[in-house]
Structure 1
Amino acid sequence: MPMTADAAPPATALDRSTPRRHIGTFEVPDDVTAVDFPLDGTRLETAHVTDRGATAGVVRVARISEGPGITDYVTHQKDFTYSTYGIHVGQDDRLTFFGDGQRIAVHLIDCREGSPRLGDEITIHMAVSPHRVLIIPKGVAHTLDGLGGVVTRDEPVWYADRNPDWEPDNDLVSFLRTAERAPVVRTNRHRLPVAAHLLLSRMSQRTNSEVRGAYAARFRVSVGGRTTYATIRPDWRAAEPQSDDHGLVRRNNFVLTGPESFTVVPSTDSCTSDVLEVALDGQDGRFTRHAYSRRTVTWMAGSEEADIEVVTADGEHRVVRLGDPTIGVRIPPGTWYRFTGTGRIWVRSEMELLDLSPWNLDHPLVRDLTTADPGEAGPSRPEQDGDRYLPGPALHALARMEAKAMSLTH
């Protein structure tokens, strides 16, 4: 999970490793969205995608899949490469890849203590696609090639246990890609309830809002004949965001996973979000507003010739340059906005829903969105001191219910 760690767990007397054996390479056709692979639990699942969102220019919306509903994101600079494998001890990765047609290679090694496939290694070749989710179970080492310019959404499943290989603040065990042997790890057994997922995600938000340093790598080492873990933290630092005198731009919660690559964790207490794919070319210039919800949008990948234009409460048109995943643009209820620029972008969209009445079970969310021609988009509704929003867990539950309903229609 995207939190930092400094302390190493107690040393153990075990030096567990396994030789690597490559057993196959799998080419995934572009039209295939669900398939199982030889390493138990490793598979592709069909994602929840709707075409043509209501916001002008949105050509595709990727909803969350079934599961705890937490959404973390990893962006990758154009020259990004991994020099290590990573093994999650207490986390299943559920990865969706967004980008402009890139092809990626996923390298996996079974490192699970007691697994009949221990040491077996496979390679998966596939195109980046919002239509499938790659499941990598805890204890399966992974590294990837071809991620330059790609953004990865992870909807993790977290587990806890009494386990000498587990460090709650950083459960990723790393080792070099060139190593002939891979570590063997004991994985956590007890899946956490949804409430615990929300708690951990909020703790991650708090940590990464204050530190915003580089993600630490944890390696198994031998010290004085005993095996323990050492943590290495690069000294990368992110540039300060542009100034903003209208209160629209906010600093996201993140850690650096490269000099210009970021793990971006949620900024709202619902801890969940959608991904919007936006075609900027050839739009009709219409503005959008949400009457009953506040949105925070974050550029994740794609064209850097992209802006968002917002009409303020006094009628001023404020243009914010996108292209920086460390900032989010806050759009209050009743605010007119539109995406402009050239090319195609992928943005994270987080929502907070106005609580109109504690007894109103017929919330007008279905009437939330309206559009207008440029000449019709007058001053936006000013944000009210009395605005109150539904609790994050309630919105989180609604998103998970939507995911379950979409699964039933597949």
Structure 2
Amino acid sequence: MNSEPMSIPLNSTEALPIKGLHWQPRWRMNNGQDDSFVVPFPTNNPANIVFHGHKNFDYGHFGIHLGQEDRLTFMGPENKLVRADFVDCRAGSETLHRRLSITFQPGTHRTLIIPPGVAHTFFGLEDVYTINEYGLFLPDPRAWVNQQTSWTIGNDIMNFGLETPDDKLPVVTPNTFPASEKFYTEVLRRQQAAIPALDTEFPMTRDLDTEGKKVRVVLRKRVEKKASPFPEWEEIQGIEGVGWQRHLTVLTGDESGIVPLAGPAALYVVDHGEKNFTHDSFGIHLGQEDRLTFVGPKDQLVTLHLLDCRSGSKTLHKAVDITFLPDPRRFLLIPPGVAHAFRRLENVFTINRPRNFLKADGSYRPGSDVIDWPVERTPYPVLEANTIPADEAFYRQQAIAQKDLSKEKVRYDTPKVQVITDPKTGKQFRVALRRRVDAEEGPTSMYN
């Protein structure tokens, strides 16, 4: 027999009644329109894009991580309703076997934190994309040394049916020791090595009783390997170095899958809102190589206008227009010094895990790295792009600075950087213009 789950009303601000399960507000900066935002994810560790396709999508079972804390940010139509069901399966928890059901709408303003040991499943995730900025936890080292745990990263998740009665619900002991950065790196290395050879869907696990002992069995459904619709690299003709790069992808169904995003750079999402979103100016980074993954409506045609402004480039001031459909399985690489402007980005989310480049003196100024150049303004600029690749120490400091920023109030919109020429000397200066906003108390940071 199943007990009735507790239910939380839509958009309720009350705390979720399972310890550790909660919504965490996100720090984000307005991006020029009232419903468009830049949302930083200040981590050097890997993160996943999870896509669910466009047909009806339900998992059909519960899943429990023993060594992973899910940190889920949902991106999709604002009027979309998603249901999530939870069961607390943690040994010793004051809410052990409490069931909970919530209904919510996607939004980049908050992240759902699901602790290890809390079973979860979702209904209605079609047309919704998720960023999982997961945290990893390891067993007590003494338990590992004394072989008192059978946990491995390969069997971290266990599954059970939606109709499992209360007296058959599992009781698990989740891991509690935060993993080191080296462990995250090793997990990513193994993913990157294994993904190209995968010929099964994402595995399911079951705990079986055999002669009085519990054995965890991993079930993998073999699938016919399908050729990717995208080449590994597709150069955009006309501007040197610009092109589409295929993501490594783990398929979990006909239309669903997981895209691991490697660091070390911090990533950020641009939520373009649902009103018409078209750039009237080029954006030109001098020290950032954009790596843009676009997710959103499968039939929304986006237009991109490119212009090469790199001093010494073979394609200097060449202009190219392309159109494309959002798809999480590839990203667009735009080198520093190549201007870009988009049309029809409403309802689309851009996920950027860039690479940074420094000036010859080793400096980099993130607040004024990008130049906004009106599309119709000529003559076009000739710019010196940075060329020295940033090292891991730079990216670590970058993430620390962003974490510190997320603890403060949001005081400004994203800046507009314009090039001003001194009429007397002809010398050019970059001026950053920031629109001040009425600051409210910033959210409690999830990055302590």
CA distance in 2, matches of 1:273, 1:378: 33
In structure 2, what is the Cα distance between the partners aligned to 1:378 and 1:170? 59
Conserved? CA contact 1:57–1:278, under 8 Å: no
Larger-gyration structure (1/2): 2
Q: TM-score, normalised by structure 1?
A: 0.82
User: Is contact 1:296-1:331 (8 Å) kept?
Assistant: yes
Bigger RCO of structures 1 and 2 (CA < 8 A, at least 6 apart): 1
CA–CA separation in structure 2 for the residues paired with 1:258 and 1:337? 34
AA aligned to 2:77 is D
Does the alignment pair 1:389 with 2:370?
Answer: no
The answer to whether the aligner puts 1:92 opposite 2:69 as a matched pair is yes
Q: How does 1:263-278 map to 2 (within 5 A)?
A: 263-270=258-265, 272-278=266-272
Identity within the alignment, %: 21
Do 1:57 and 1:283's aligned partners in 2 also have CA atoms closer than 8 Å? Answer: no
Instruction: Determine if the alignment matches structure 1 residue 37 to structure 2 residue 16.
Output: yes
* Corresponding residue to 2:235 among 238, 245, 248: 245
C-alpha spacing 1:239/1:376, structure 2 compared with 1 (3 Å): farther
Within 5 Å, which residues of 2 pair with 1:122-201?
122-161=100-139, 162=144, 164=149, 166-180=151-165, 181-201=168-188
User: Which residue of structure 2 aligns with residue 254 of structure 1?
Assistant: 249
Conserved? CA contact 1:268–1:352, under 8 Å = no
Q: TM-score, normalised by structure 2?
A: 0.76
Of residues 59, 67, 73, the one that matches 2:49 is 73
Q: State the one-letter code of the partner of 1:233.
A: R
Alignment of 1:226-245 (within 5 A): 226-234=213-221, 235=223, 237=225, 239-243=227-231, 244-245=234-235
Opposite residue 97 of structure 1, the aligned amino acid is F
Change (3 A) 1:206 1:275: farther
> Which string of whole-angstrom CA distances, capped at 9 and with x for unpartnered residues, describes residues 235-261 of structure 1?
265552345233511111221122111
1:113 matches 2:107: no
Q: How much does 1:308 deviate?
A: 5.0
Find out whether 1:340 has 2:343 as its counterpart. Answer: yes
Q: CA deviation at 1:305?
A: 1.6
The residue type paired with residue 105 of structure 2 is: A
Deviations 1:179-225 (A, max 9, x none): 22322222112111344334433443444356486322222224466
8 A Cα contact 1:109 1:119, kept in partner:
yes
Aligned to 2:286: 291
- The SS at the match of 1:302 is coil
CA distance in 2, matches of 1:373, 1:390: 29
Query: Gaps (5+ residues) in structure 2?
Result: 237-241, 410-441, 443-448
- What is the one-letter code of the residue matched to 1:63? P
Instruction: Provide the C-alpha distance between the structure 1 equivalents of 2:243 and 2:66, rounded to a whole number of angstroms.
Output: 39
- The answer to whether the Cα contact below 8 Å between 2:44 and 2:264 also exists between their aligned partners in 1 is no
Q: 1:207 to 1:110 in 2, by over 3 A?
A: same
1:21 aligns with 2:16: no
* TM-aligned CA distance change 1:267 to 1:190, over 3 Å: closer
User: Which runs of no fewer than 5 residues in structure 1 stay unpaired?
Assistant: 1-18
1:370 is the counterpart of 2:371? yes
CA distance in 1, matches of 2:98, 2:402: 37
323, 326, 346: which one aligns with 1:323? 326
Q: CA RMSD in A?
A: 3.1
Looking at structure 2, the residues matched to 57 and 23 of structure 1 have their Cα atoms a distance apart, in angstroms, of 37
Q: 1:13 is matched with which residue? A: none
Q: Secondary structure at the match of 2:183?
A: helix
SS at match of 2:153: coil
